[in-house]
C-alpha cells in the first residue's frame, strides 16, 4: 500500500534458511522475535530506499487449516527489498526464517521491491505467499504468487497473477490468497489497479487459481470507481455458500485529504468472480485521517486510517468488519468501529466501539490505529490495535499493542451488539518508543513514523496469534509474534 496510496496525497533462487534463536519453554513465553539480521545486506540499494522503511514491518500471519500449531508469518524487509517468511510447528515457541525467492532482484527476481506480502495455507498444507512487486522507476508492477510444500525450504517459480508493464496505465497491488472452504484447490486474490494520474478513477480486480496457487486466471474487474473517486484496501472473503465478498474503501475526493469522504463498501459474486453486484454500503469512516504524535504532531502510520478488515464466523456465517473511527469520542480520537452482517453482507449493523482504550486518558493518547480482526473458536471475535494510553510528556512516545476479545452469548448473538462483553490483553510486555520507528519523508504516503499499514492476527486453536512490528534501533523495525489463549 505504501506506493499505491500516494494517489491519496497529490530461474528460482534457493531459499535461505536461518533458524531463529531458540527460546526455553515457559508457561507464558511472551512475544517471540520473528525477524533477524538482514538477508539482503549484500544487495545493491535502490533509488527508493530512502522512502521505504528499514527493517521488518507489517508482519502478517496464516495458520494451517488442520494443525493450529503450524503458523507462518511473512513481512517485507529492508526497504522492501524482499519478503521473509517465518514458520513454526510448535505454536510459536520456535520459528525458522527463509527468504521468499524470485519476487525481487534481491531474491533472484526482476522487480526492485515487494509490497504487502501475504501468506495462506491451502487445504493440503501448501504455503502460498503472494505480493505486489514494482520497479523503482514505476515502469512495471505485478502481483506474484509462490508456493512451498515443505514449510518454506523450497519454492515454486513465481506465478504471475496480474501484471502491468505500461507505466501510462498505472500500477496494481495484490491481496491475500483466500481459499474456498468447499473446493480444496481453489484460491482467489483480489486487489486494486491504480491510474497513472492522481485522483482519477480506478478499479478492483480478482484472479482465481484451481490448482492450489500454482497458476492463475487472467484478472477480472470486481468494481469500478466513478470519476473523482477511488477504491482501495480490498479484503476478500469466501462465504460458506461459496459466494465471494470484496470489502473495500471507497474514496470520494474533496479539496484535500481532510475534505474527502471515505466509505466502507462491498461487492458480491455468486459465480466464482465472473460477475459482481453493485456496491453496497457497509458504513462510513468517521476517522480523523491523521494519527499524530501527541506532542510533536508528527504523523504516525497515517494511511491505516482508511483501511478496514473483515472476518467470518464459520459456525454461523456471520460476517464482521472493523475500521478506525472517531465517532465514539465525539471526533476527538480514532477508536475501532465494529459492525456485523447476518445475511452475507447485504445489510450491516450500526457500528459499536471494540477497542478498550480508556476514555480517561487525554484524547491525543486515546488514538487507536492499525486495526486487525479475526474470528476464532466458538465465534470469539478478536480485534488488535495500537494506542498511546501509556504515553506521558517524556521524550519517548510510549506505544503498545493490544488484543480485545468478545465471545457472543449465543450463536444467534453478535459481538457487534451494544451489550456485548469484551476483555483486553496487553500484547507488548513493555511500551515501545514510536519515535524510534522508521520515518518516511513528508513528501510520501505513508509519511511520518511507520511500522506498517497492517499487522497480523489469526485464530489458532482456542486462542489467537498476533504479530506486529516495533523499533529495535533508531529508524529500524523488528517483527514479533505471540499466541494468547
In whole angstroms, give the CA distance from residue 342 to residue 459. Answer: 20
In whole angstroms, give the CA distance from residue 64 to residue 124. Answer: 9
Could you read off the pLDDT tens digit of each residue along the chain, which spans 485 residues? 444 434 333 322 333 333 444 333 333 468 999 999 999 999 999 999 999 999 999 999 999 999 999 999 999 999 999 999 999 999 999 999 999 999 999 999 999 999 999 999 999 999 999 999 999 998 999 999 999 999 999 999 999 999 999 888 889 999 999 999 999 899 999 999 998 777 578 999 999 999 999 999 999 999 999 988 999 999 999 999 999 999 999 999 886 656 689 999 999 999 999 999 999 999 999 999 899 999 999 999 778 899 999 999 999 999 999 999 999 999 999 999 999 999 999 999 999 999 999 999 999 999 999 999 999 999 999 999 999 999 998 899 999 999 999 999 999 999 999 999 999 999 999 999 999 999 998 777 778 999 999 999 999 989 999 999 999 999 999 999 999 98
In whole angstroms, give the CA distance from residue 257 to residue 154. Answer: 44
Q: What is the DSSP letter of 2?
A: T
Residue with cell 499466541: 483
How does strand 127-134 pair with strand 141-148?
antiparallel
Question: Does 446 sit behind a cis peptide bond, omega within 30 degrees of 0 on the bond before it?
Answer: yes
64 - beta bridge partners? none
**pLDDT for 175:** 92
**pLDDT for 443:** 78
**pLDDT for 442:** 79
**pLDDT for 12:** 26
- Using the CB atoms, write b or e for 384-422: b if 16+ within 10 Å: bbbbbbebeeeeebbbbbbbbbbbbeeeebbbbbeebeb
Based on the number of CB atoms within 10 Å of its own CB, is 12 exposed (0-12), middle (13-18) or buried (19 or more)?
middle
Residue 4 grid coordinates? 499505491
Closest CA to 260 of 289, 300, 283: 289
Q: How far is CA 199 from CA 231, 345, 442, 447, in A?
A: 11, 28, 19, 18
**pLDDT for 447:** 84
162 - beta bridge partners? 143
DSSP string, 340-375: EESSTTSS-PPPEE-----TTS-HHHH-EEEEEEEE
Closest CA to 118 of 148, 98, 145, 153: 145
Q: How far apart are the first and last CA of the chain?
A: 31
Sign of the CA dihedral with 102 first, then 105, 106, and 112 last: negative
**pLDDT for 18:** 39
**pLDDT for 301:** 79
Q: Enumerate helices (H) and strands (E) in the chain, giving the number of each.
A: 1, 34
Residue 420 near residue 407, CB atoms below 8 Å: no
CA dihedral 262, 130, 195, 201 (to 10 degrees): -40
Which spans in 235-380 are helix H?
363-366
How does strand 54-55 pair with strand 60-63?
unpaired
Residues 6+ apart with CB under 8 A from 107: 13, 40, 81, 82, 83, 99, 100, 101
**pLDDT for 11:** 26
In whole angstroms, give the CA distance from residue 47 to residue 54. Answer: 14
Amino acid at each position: 500500500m505504501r506506493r499505491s496510496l500516494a494517489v491519496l496525497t497529490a530461474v528460482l533462487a534457493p531459499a535461505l534458511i536461518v533458524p531463529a534463536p531458540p527460546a526455553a519453554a515457559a508457561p507464558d513465553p511472551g512475544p517471540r522475535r520473528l525477524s533477524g539480521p538482514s538477508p539482503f545486506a549484500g544487495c545493491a540499494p535502490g533509488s527508493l530506499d530512502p522512502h521505504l522503511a528499514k527493517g521488518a514491518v507489517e508482519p502478517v500471519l496464516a495458520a494451517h487449516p488442520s494443525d493450529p500449531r503450524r503458523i507462518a508469518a511473512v513481512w517485507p524487509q529492508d526497504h522492501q527489498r524482499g519478503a521473509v517468511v517465518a514458520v513454526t510447528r510448535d505454536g510459536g515457541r520456535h520459528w525458522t526464517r527463509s527468504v521468499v525467492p524470485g519476487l525481487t532482484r534481491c531474491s533472484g527476481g526482476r522487480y526492485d521491491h515487494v509490497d504487502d506480502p501475504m501468506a495462506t495455507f491451502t487445504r493440503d498444507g501448501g504455503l502460498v505467499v503472494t505480493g505486489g512487486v514494482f520497479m523503482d522507476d514505476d515502469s512495471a508492477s505485478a502481483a506474484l504468487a509462490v508456493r512451498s510444500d515443505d514449510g518454506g525450504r523450497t519454492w515454486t517459480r513465481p506465478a504471475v497473477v496480474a501484471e502491468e508493464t505500461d507505466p501510462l496505465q498505472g500500477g496494481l497491488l495484490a491481496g491475500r490468497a483466500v481459499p474456498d472452504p468447499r473446493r480444496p484447490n481453489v484460491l482467489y486474490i483480489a486487489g486494486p489497479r491504480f491510474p497513472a494520474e492522481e485522483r482519477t478513477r480506478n478499479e478492483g480486480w480478482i484472479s482465481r487459481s484451481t490448482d492450489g496457487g500454482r497458476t492463475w486466471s487472467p484478472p477480472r474487474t470486481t468494481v469500478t470507481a466513478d470519476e473523482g473517486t477511488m477504491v482501495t484496501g480490498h479484503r476478500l472473503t469466501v462465504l460458506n455458500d461459496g459466494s465471494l465478498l470484496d470489502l473495500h474503501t471507497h474514496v470520494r475526493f474533496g479539496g484535500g485529504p481532510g475534505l474527502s469522504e471515505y466509505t466502507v463498501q462491498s461487492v458480491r459474486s455468486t459465480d466464482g468472480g465472473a460477475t459482481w453486484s453493485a456496491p453496497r454500503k457497509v458504513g462510513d469512516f468517521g476517522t480523523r485521517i491523521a494519527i499524530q504524535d501527541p506532542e510533536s504532531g508528527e504523523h504516525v502510520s497515517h494511511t491505516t486510517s482508511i483501511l478496514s478488515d473483515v472476518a467470518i464466523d464459520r459456525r454461523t456465517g456471520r460476517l464482521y468488519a472493523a475500521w478506525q473511527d472517531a465517532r465514539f469520542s465525539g471526533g476527538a480520537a480514532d477508536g475501532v468501529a465494529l459492525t456485523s452482517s447476518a445475511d452475507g453482507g447485504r445489510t450491516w449493523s450500526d457500528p459499536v466501539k471494540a477497542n478498550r482504550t480508556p476514555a480517561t486518558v487525554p484524547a491525543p493518547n486515546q488514538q487507536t490505529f492499525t486495526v486487525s480482526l479475526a474470528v476464532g473458536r466458538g465465534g470469539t471475535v478478536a480485534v488488535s490495535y495500537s494506542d498511546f494510553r501509556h504515553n506521558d510528556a517524556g521524550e519517548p512516545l510510549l506505544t503498545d499493542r493490544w488484543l480485545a476479545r468478545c465471545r457472543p452469548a449465543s450463536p444467534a448473538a453478535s459481538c457487534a451488539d451494544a451489550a456485548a462483553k469484551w476483555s483486553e490483553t496487553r500484547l507488548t510486555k513493555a511500551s515501545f518508543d514510536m519515535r524510534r520507528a522508521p520515518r518516511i519523508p513528508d513528501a510520501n504516503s505513508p509519511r511520518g513514523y511507520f511500522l506498517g499499514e497492517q499487522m497480523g492476527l489469526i485464530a489458532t486453536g482456542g486462542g489467537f496469534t498476533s504479530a506486529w512490528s516495533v523499533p529495535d534501533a533508531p529508524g529500524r523495525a523488528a517483527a514479533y509474534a505471540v499466541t494468547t489463549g
